[in-house]
Amino acid sequence: MNLVYYFIQQIVNAVSAGSLYAVMAVGLAMVFSILRLINFAYGDQMMVAAYLAAFSLGAGLPLPIAVLVMVIGSVVLGLILERVAYRPLRGAPDVALLLSSFAVGQILENTTLLATRFAGLPIQMSFAAPELLSGVLTFGPITVAKLNVVSLVAGVVILLLLTLFVTRTDLGLSMRASAEDMPAAQLVGINTNRVIATAFGISSALASVAGLLYAAQAGQINPFMGFTPVLKAFIAAVIGGFGSLPGAVLGGYVLGALEVLLTAIPGIGDILPPGMVPPAVQQFLQTYLPGSLSSWRDAFVFIILIVVLIFRPNGILGGRQREEMR
Amino acid sequence: MSLGLRRVLVSVGMIAVFAALIYLLTTYGSSFWQGIAINLGMFLILVVSLNLFNGFTGVFSLGHIGFMGLGAYIAAILTLSLSGKQAYLPHLPGWLAGVSLDQMIGPFALGFLLATLISATLVAVFAFLVGLVLMRLSGQYVAVATLGFLVIVRVTLFNADTFTRGSRTFSNIAAYTDLWWVYGWVIATVYVVWRLKFSAFGRSMFAQREDRWAAQSVGISMMPPRLLAFVVSAFFTAVAGSLYAHFITSMSPNVFYFDLTFRVITMLVLGGLGSVSGSILGTVIIVGLAEGLRRVEDVTLLYGMSNIIIAVILLLLIIFRRQGLLGQRELNLGWLFGKSQSSSNKEKVQP
């Protein structure tokens, strides 16, 4: 019986991890589709949002206000970054944009480091997750962390709202048009500056939500926490089809599932009830899929990225590879 | 005197002057300045060899520091004394546990040279295999794929703890590195990269960088020059890793990660993607700046400030002067050598 609950547990884990990745990946994909910019400072925007949330909650603000502060702060930061660091680089080769986002990321990380030092705070701060996000819910024999449920629900709601925005509103339509063909969009009179600013704003808002959830999950924040999430988000977006928003969502869930698979399957040898599979098979599983495989998880995820980039660079939802001869 | 003789004499003279400088620094310099000079030398090797790939072929790799880490660990494992291996890496497989390249010939650390060469060659072979896979990609995708490579190497170094002690510090490395070794390798690296630049291979690489399709249309295939650049740059990056390990004498996989990558790239972009002398200039400037800023940090307790300033420099460079200080040109030393060399800038017309 344990096996069934184990699977259900893992499925819940996978879907909630997937939701988190999906939200992050959509934020990245939104900016990439229009600007061709892989925003590596995205993880650091998440980090700044997490710090904002930590301070607002620490100052005693109720959760909804803290979230508002966090989202608004993050959007303002994103708009400033776009204006200062990325707008001067319109039309520059892709690698230049990538490098500038790295530089921005470094600046954000070290400024936060300096600021926390200045304020006398430790580098690694513990993050007291608010009531809504901590603790567990029990449904019979299954325990689910409240955080996972909230991630899931928040992810789905956000994605639904985004879909509505992108398909039903003028601004959303303009965004899709700019993503498809920027010069043509300008020709028909779309104000690309406004579109790009909107994309950055939404992307930053998504980053802030992801940052809050990530911080609540980790239980602590530090100035360098954003590096790994942005890499994972990028992998998710590439797997699903970089540049397309549904692709990013799909990639997020696929990545969540893959990660949970890589951590869950190795442990399976131990929890199989005796007699379910012949002892030889159980032995095999226990020897060759030791629980410690999970430490290789990050490496596997990147190997998957490289495989996808080589064989299907446009991801699951992308068409066949079209290379531009520029 | 004939041109050939003059060139040889000038080259020998320059090396002699250089050697004299190093001798003076080793004998009379304080260990503080020696340390800075060694640090500078290691970065020179890193930046010049990375320029060979990123700058010449135009393909941007963010993962070369992974090769440095591999080179460092392999060389360190090879030079670790037998007793050190028993104490430190007790689970090494038999054939490795019995090997220790710590032989000396007088003051010359032969074992160190062997270990560095073996380590760099192994890394170069590995780079060949990795390059076969990754070199088909271009643009941003190869940048991210190589970044992924960096992460994979780091995870591997952490996990292979029978060989690397995992996340624990790998110390007790013999301190073989000194100014002679570092700058000997610096000269070797600069020489190789320089000769490559002004060779047919070099021209193929630059042609690819300009316009990959046009190059292919005149018969310059994509993979051989790229692979060659990748492998050679990996070789020297691994050498730098070995030098690093035997200088700092203790390390962990965390060293060979993103901060180092970022710093090397800043030096590279500052000097100019594609200019060897530019890389040297850029490295000297940033290393000097970083050292100076570190003193300021110590005094004002504003830790992290040097990183911010260097990142701002990179950002300003990318926005306002993407070709860096020298672009693809080189500092013209033609006046020393008599006639202008066959460089990519001007050619003197003989009457």
In this prediction, residue B343 has a pLDDT band, given cuts at 50, 70 and 90, of very low
Question: CB–CB of B262 and A106 under 8 A?
Answer: yes
B213 touches chain A (CB under 8 A): yes
Instruction: Indicate the SS3 state at residue A37.
Output: coil
User: Of A217, A222, A202, A280, nearest to A42 (Cα)?
Assistant: A202
**Looking at residue A97, what is its pLDDT?**
86
**Tens-of-pLDDT digits for all 326 residues of chain A?**
567 777 777 788 788 888 888 888 989 988 888 888 888 899 999 999 999 888 888 888 888 888 899 999 999 999 999 999 888 888 778 788 888 999 999 999 999 988 888 777 777 777 777 766 677 777 666 677 777 788 888 888 888 888 888 888 888 888 888 888 888 888 998 888 888 999 999 999 999 999 988 888 877 888 888 888 888 888 888 888 877 788 888 888 988 888 887 776 665 555 556 555 666 666 655 555 544 555 677 788 888 888 888 887 777 776 555 555 54
Contacts of B56 (CB under 8 A, 6+ apart): B196, B197, B202, B205, B206, B209, B229, B274
pLDDT at B345: 46
pLDDT of residue A208: 93
- What gap in Å lies between CA B129 and CA B118, rounded to an integer? 17
Q: Hey, which residues does B105 pair with through a beta bridge? A: B108
pLDDT at B341: 46
Judged by a CB distance cut-off of 8 A, whether residue B152 touches chain A is yes
| Stretch among A77-91, A258-272, B4-18, B317-331 having the lowest mean pLDDT | A258-272
Mention every residue, 6+ apart, whose C-beta is less than 8 A from residue B234.
Answer: B49, B64, B67, B123, B124, B126, B127
| Residue among A95, A110, A313 whose CB faces B304 most closely | A110
Least confident of A319-323, B47-51, B116-120, B272-276: A319-323
Structural contact between residues B47 and B283, judged by C-beta atoms closer than 8 angstroms: yes
Does the pLDDT at position B129 exceed 50? yes
Residue A147's pLDDT is: 78
A296:B303 CB<8 A: no
Dihedral class, residue A184 (left if φ above 0, else alpha if ψ from -120 to 50, else beta)? alpha
| Contact criterion met (CB below 8 Å) for B202 and B196 | yes
- A315, A239 contact by CB (below 8 A): yes
Q: Do B311 and A110 touch (CB under 8 A)?
A: yes
CB-nearest to B312 from A107, A303, A306 is: A107
Q: What is the pTM of this model?
A: 0.86
Q: Give the pLDDT confidence score for residue A307 in this predicted structure.
A: 85
Measured distance CA(A58)–CA(A52) in Å, rounded: 10
Q: How far apart are the CA of A320 and the nearest CA of chain B, in angstroms?
A: 15
Please answer yes or no on whether B302 and A114 come within 8 Å at the CB atom: yes
User: For testing the chain A interface, which of B136, B153, B298, B318 should be mutated: the one with the most A CBs within 10 Å?
Assistant: B318
Share above pLDDT 90 across residues of chain B, in percent, rounded to a whole number: 32
List CB contacts (< 8 A) between A38 and chain B. 140, 144
Type of residue numbered B7: R
Q: What is the mean pLDDT of chain B?
A: 85
In chain B, what is the straight-line distance between the N-terminal and C-terminal CA atoms, in Å?
Answer: 19
Question: What's the rounded Cα separation, in Å, for the pair A191 and A196?
Answer: 9
pLDDT recorded at residue B188: 93
For A68, A188, B83, B174, the CA distances from B98, given in Å and listed in that order, are 63, 73, 10, 17
Task: Tell me which chain A residues have a C-beta less than 8 angstroms from the C-beta of B307.
Answer: 106, 109-110
pLDDT of residue B344: 43
Task: Report d(CA A303, CA B268) in Å as an integer.
Answer: 28
Which residue from A minimizes the CA distance to B307?
A: A110
Nearest to A123 by CA among A106, A138, A110, A107: A110
CB contact (8 A) between residue B305 and residue A114: yes
pLDDT at residue A272 in the model? 59
Other Cβ atoms closer than 10 A to A58: 12
pLDDT (tens digit, 9 = 90+) per residue, B89-121?
Answer: 777 777 777 777 777 776 777 888 888 999 999
Q: How far apart are CA B293 and CA A141, in angstroms?
A: 58
Q: By the CB < 8 Å criterion, does B217 face chain A?
A: no
Q: What is the pLDDT of residues B55-69, one digit of tens each?
A: 898 888 999 999 999
**Contact state of A234 with B144 under an 8 Å Cβ cutoff:** yes
- CA A255/CA A231 separation, integer angstroms: 12
Residue A68 sits at φ, ψ, to 5 deg, of -60, -45
ipTM over 0.90: no
* Alpha-helical runs (H) found in A219-314: 227-240, 245-264, 268-271, 279-288, 297-311
Residue A289's CB: how many other CB atoms inside 10 A?
Answer: 15
Give the number of A-B residue pairs with CB atoms closer than 8 Å: 112
Residue whose tokens read 């080259």: B11
Instruction: For residue A144, report the phi and psi dihedrals to the nearest 5 degrees.
Output: -125, 135
Which of A98, A296, A309 comes nearest B137 by C-beta? A309
Q: Which of B323, B325, B322, B286 is nearest to B307 (CA)?
A: B286
Half-sphere exposure of A237 (CA within 13 A, CB side): 25
Cβ atoms within 10 Å of A227's Cβ, excluding its own = 17
**Chain A nearest C-alpha distance from B100 (Å):** 30
